[in-house]
């Protein structure tokens, strides 16, 4: 029974839930980027090159005489670069926000009652 409780506390801990949400969002983001590359960037940027090679899409790019499809690799590489750039920008924005929080100086702590009393005694002795 103890092992079940440990697993429950592990699975419900905030870090695990945050990680699960991150994985789901990352998967959805990957699909968005794949669609961006396959449906927008590839047709807009690579269409002239594909037409010159008499190909319909990037997946048809193969090394002649082999089964090596470097078109899939190029498509995946473009997706990776876009994802890496977007993640870089997100992390850069988060770090900038953290620097702003760190730049705000904390107010000095208010003196304790003992310090206030000692200050009053010092001031009375000066008089």
Q: Are 111 and 119 in contact (CB under 8 A)?
A: yes
What percentage of the chain carries pLDDT values higher than 70? Answer: 94
Phi and psi at 68, nearest 5°, equal -80, 115
Domain regions of the chain by residue span: 2-102
The confidence band for 1, taking pLDDT boundaries of 50, 70 and 90, is low
Average pLDDT, integer, range 102-114: 78
Average predicted confidence (pLDDT) for the chain: 80
Give pTM, 2 decimals: 0.51
- Over residues 4-21, the mean pLDDT reads 77
Judged against a pLDDT cut of 70, whether residue 14 lies above it is answered with no
Indicate the fold that domain 2-102 takes in CATH. 1.10.1200
Q: What is the DSSP string of 26-54?
A: HHHHHHHHHHIIIIIIHHHHHHHHHHHTT
Query: CA–CA separation, 77 vs 33, rounded Å?
Result: 11
Q: Is the pLDDT of residue 10 over 80?
A: no
| Per-residue model confidence as pLDDT tens digits over 24-81 | 888 888 888 778 877 887 677 777 777 777 777 667 777 888 878 787 788 788 778 8
Q: What is the mean pLDDT of residues 76-90?
A: 81
Query: How far, in Å, CA of 86 to CA of 100, rounded?
Result: 21
Residues 117-120: contacts with CB under 8 Å, at least 24 apart: none
């Amino acid at each position: 029974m103890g092992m079940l409780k440990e697993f429950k506390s592990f699975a419900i801990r905030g870090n695990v839930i945050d990680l699960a949400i991150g994985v789901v969002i990352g998967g959805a983001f990957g699909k968005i980027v794949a669609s961006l590359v396959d449906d927008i960037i590839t047709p807009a940027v690579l269409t002239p090159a594909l037409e010159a090679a008499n190909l319909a899409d990037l997946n048809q790019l193969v090394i002649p005489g082999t089964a090596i499809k470097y078109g899939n690799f190029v498509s995946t590489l473009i997706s990776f670069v876009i994802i890496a750039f977007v993640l870089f920008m997100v992390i850069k924005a988060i770090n900038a926000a953290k620097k702003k929080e760190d730049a705000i100086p904390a107010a000095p702590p208010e003196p304790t009652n003992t310090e206030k009393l000692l200050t009053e005694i010092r001031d009375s002795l000066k008089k």
